[in-house]
Protein backbone atom coordinates (compact mmCIF):
# COMPACT_ATOMS: atom_id res chain seq x y z
CA UNK A 1 0.00 0.00 0.00
CA UNK A 2 1.34 3.41 -0.87
CA UNK A 3 1.96 5.70 2.10
CA UNK A 4 -0.35 8.23 0.44
CA UNK A 5 -3.26 5.78 0.59
CA UNK A 6 -2.85 5.20 4.32
CA UNK A 7 -2.46 8.94 4.93
CA UNK A 8 -5.57 9.81 2.91
CA UNK A 9 -7.76 7.20 4.59
CA UNK A 10 -6.48 8.28 8.03
CA UNK A 11 -7.31 11.90 7.20
CA UNK A 12 -10.86 10.96 6.12
CA UNK A 13 -11.40 8.88 9.26
CA UNK A 14 -10.40 11.87 11.37
CA UNK A 15 -12.21 14.48 9.25
CA UNK A 16 -15.53 12.62 9.26
CA UNK A 17 -15.12 11.01 12.71
CA UNK A 18 -15.43 7.48 11.34
CA UNK A 19 -13.14 5.56 13.71
CA UNK A 20 -15.92 3.84 15.67
CA UNK A 21 -18.20 3.18 12.67
CA UNK A 22 -19.39 -0.21 11.45
CA UNK A 23 -16.98 -0.82 8.57
CA UNK A 24 -16.92 -3.17 5.61
CA UNK A 25 -13.59 -3.39 3.83
CA UNK A 26 -13.93 -4.82 0.33
CA UNK A 27 -10.68 -6.21 -1.01
CA UNK A 28 -9.26 -6.78 2.46
CA UNK A 29 -6.61 -9.37 1.58
CA UNK A 30 -3.50 -7.80 3.10
CA UNK A 31 -0.93 -7.89 0.31
CA UNK A 32 1.09 -4.86 1.39
CA UNK A 33 -0.68 -3.08 4.25
CA UNK A 34 -4.13 -2.45 5.69
CA UNK A 35 -6.23 0.44 6.95
CA UNK A 36 -7.91 -1.78 9.56
CA UNK A 37 -5.97 -0.27 12.52
CA UNK A 38 -7.53 3.14 11.74
CA UNK A 39 -10.94 1.86 12.84
CA UNK A 40 -12.07 0.79 16.32
CA UNK A 41 -15.69 -0.20 15.68
CA UNK A 42 -17.09 -3.38 14.17
CA UNK A 43 -14.93 -4.26 11.16
CA UNK A 44 -15.53 -6.92 8.53
CA UNK A 45 -12.91 -7.58 5.86
CA UNK A 46 -14.06 -9.43 2.74
CA UNK A 47 -12.25 -10.67 -0.33
CA UNK A 48 -12.50 -13.30 -3.05
CA UNK A 49 -9.98 -15.60 -1.42
CA UNK A 50 -9.01 -16.42 2.16
CA UNK A 51 -5.86 -14.89 3.59
CA UNK A 52 -4.51 -12.27 5.97
CA UNK A 53 -7.11 -9.60 6.74
CA UNK A 54 -10.00 -11.60 5.29
CA UNK A 55 -12.82 -12.34 7.75
CA UNK A 56 -15.34 -13.56 5.19
CA UNK A 57 -15.41 -14.36 1.49
CA UNK A 58 -17.50 -11.98 -0.62
CA UNK A 59 -21.13 -13.03 -0.87
CA UNK A 60 -24.13 -11.37 -2.51
CA UNK A 61 -26.09 -11.25 0.74
CA UNK A 62 -23.52 -8.84 2.20
CA UNK A 63 -25.06 -6.16 0.01
CA UNK A 64 -28.75 -7.02 0.34
CA UNK A 65 -29.58 -4.67 3.21
CA UNK A 66 -28.15 -1.54 4.81
CA UNK A 67 -25.85 -2.64 7.59
CA UNK A 68 -22.64 -0.61 7.35
CA UNK A 69 -21.71 3.00 8.13
CA UNK A 70 -18.56 2.92 6.00
CA UNK A 71 -17.33 0.85 3.10
CA UNK A 72 -13.63 1.22 2.49
CA UNK A 73 -11.83 -0.18 -0.52
CA UNK A 74 -8.19 0.50 -1.26
CA UNK A 75 -6.59 -0.55 -4.52
CA UNK A 76 -9.35 -3.03 -5.35
CA UNK A 77 -11.69 -1.40 -7.85
CA UNK A 78 -9.28 -1.77 -10.78
CA UNK A 79 -9.48 -5.54 -10.23
CA UNK A 80 -13.29 -5.63 -10.35
CA UNK A 81 -14.68 -6.74 -13.71
CA UNK A 82 -17.83 -4.63 -13.22
CA UNK A 83 -17.11 -1.74 -10.84
CA UNK A 84 -20.35 0.05 -11.77
CA UNK A 85 -22.33 -2.93 -10.41
CA UNK A 86 -20.16 -3.15 -7.29
CA UNK A 87 -20.71 0.54 -6.48
CA UNK A 88 -24.48 0.04 -6.73
CA UNK A 89 -24.16 -2.94 -4.37
CA UNK A 90 -22.18 -0.81 -1.93
CA UNK A 91 -24.80 1.91 -2.04
CA UNK A 92 -27.43 -0.66 -1.03
CA UNK A 93 -25.25 -2.01 1.79
CA UNK A 94 -24.75 1.40 3.42
CA UNK A 95 -27.04 2.78 6.07
CA UNK A 96 -28.54 6.20 5.29
CA UNK A 97 -25.79 8.78 5.79
CA UNK A 98 -23.07 6.18 5.26
CA UNK A 99 -20.01 6.74 3.12
CA UNK A 100 -17.54 5.01 0.86
CA UNK A 101 -13.80 5.66 0.93
CA UNK A 102 -12.13 4.45 -2.25
CA UNK A 103 -8.61 4.52 -3.62
CA UNK A 104 -7.91 3.17 -7.11
CA UNK A 105 -5.08 3.27 -9.61
CA UNK A 106 -4.89 5.67 -12.53
CA UNK A 107 -3.88 5.42 -16.16
CA UNK A 108 -0.11 5.58 -15.75
CA UNK A 109 0.01 2.73 -13.24
CA UNK A 110 1.15 -0.63 -14.63
CA UNK A 111 -0.88 -3.84 -14.52
CA UNK A 112 -0.86 -5.87 -11.33
CA UNK A 113 -3.02 -9.00 -11.26
CA UNK A 114 -4.86 -9.89 -8.02
CA UNK A 115 -6.48 -11.97 -9.56
CA UNK A 116 -6.94 -9.84 -12.72
CA UNK A 117 -6.50 -6.19 -13.66
CA UNK A 118 -9.29 -4.57 -15.70
CA UNK A 119 -9.54 -0.80 -15.23
CA UNK A 120 -7.83 2.50 -14.50
CA UNK A 121 -9.61 5.52 -13.05
CA UNK A 122 -9.48 9.30 -13.27
CA UNK A 123 -11.26 11.81 -11.07
CA UNK A 124 -14.01 12.38 -13.68
CA UNK A 125 -14.57 8.64 -14.23
CA UNK A 126 -14.75 7.98 -10.49
CA UNK A 127 -17.22 10.84 -9.96
CA UNK A 128 -19.41 9.55 -12.80
CA UNK A 129 -19.43 5.96 -11.48
CA UNK A 130 -20.30 7.14 -7.96
CA UNK A 131 -23.02 9.49 -9.18
CA UNK A 132 -24.57 6.78 -11.37
CA UNK A 133 -24.57 4.43 -8.37
CA UNK A 134 -26.65 6.94 -6.40
CA UNK A 135 -23.97 8.56 -4.23
CA UNK A 136 -23.94 12.26 -3.29
CA UNK A 137 -21.42 14.73 -1.86
CA UNK A 138 -18.72 13.14 -4.00
CA UNK A 139 -15.15 14.36 -3.49
CA UNK A 140 -12.14 13.19 -5.46
CA UNK A 141 -8.44 13.95 -5.36
CA UNK A 142 -5.40 12.68 -7.22
CA UNK A 143 -3.02 10.38 -5.39
CA UNK A 144 0.07 12.56 -4.84
CA UNK A 145 2.41 9.56 -4.75
CA UNK A 146 1.37 7.37 -7.70
CA UNK A 147 -1.07 7.50 -10.59
CA UNK A 148 -4.47 7.07 -8.96
CA UNK A 149 -7.55 8.66 -7.47
CA UNK A 150 -9.00 8.98 -3.99
CA UNK A 151 -12.77 9.35 -3.53
CA UNK A 152 -15.29 9.78 -0.76
CA UNK A 153 -19.04 9.79 -1.31
CA UNK A 154 -22.19 9.60 0.81
CA UNK A 155 -25.51 7.84 0.67
Domain residue ranges in the chain: 3-154
pLDDT digits (tens, 9 = 90+) for 27-70: 998 888 899 999 999 999 999 889 999 999 988 788 888 899 99
90 vs 80: CA distance, rounded Å: 13
| Closest C-alpha to 59, from 46, 75, 41, 73 | 46
pLDDT digits (tens, 9 = 90+) for 60-104: 788 888 899 999 999 999 999 999 999 999 999 999 999 999 999
* Residues whose CB falls within 8 Å of the CB of residue 36, separated by 6 or more in sequence, listed in order: 25, 28, 43, 45, 53
**Is the per-residue pLDDT at 114 higher than 70?**
no
pLDDT band at 119 (very low <50, low <70, confident <90, very high): confident
What is the pTM (predicted TM-score) of this model?
0.93
Give the mean model confidence (pLDDT) for residues 103-113.
76
* Residues whose CB falls within 8 Å of the CB of residue 9, separated by 6 or more in sequence, listed in order: 35, 38, 72, 74, 101, 103
**Is the per-residue pLDDT at 155 higher than 70?**
yes
- The CATH classification of domain 3-154, taken from the options 3.40.1190.20, 3.40.710.10, 3.20.20.70, 3.40.50.150: 3.40.50.150
Give the mean model confidence (pLDDT) for residues 134-148.
95
User: Any idea how long the chain is?
Assistant: 155
**Is the per-residue pLDDT at 111 higher than 70?**
no
pLDDT digits (tens, 9 = 90+) for 6-17: 999 999 999 999
Asked whether the bond before 115 is cis by omega within 30 degrees of 0, the reply is: yes
Amino acid sequence: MHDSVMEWVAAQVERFRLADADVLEVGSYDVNGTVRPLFTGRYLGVDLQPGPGVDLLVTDDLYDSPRFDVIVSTEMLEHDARPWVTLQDWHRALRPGGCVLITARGFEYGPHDYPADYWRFSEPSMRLLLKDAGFAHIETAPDPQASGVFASAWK
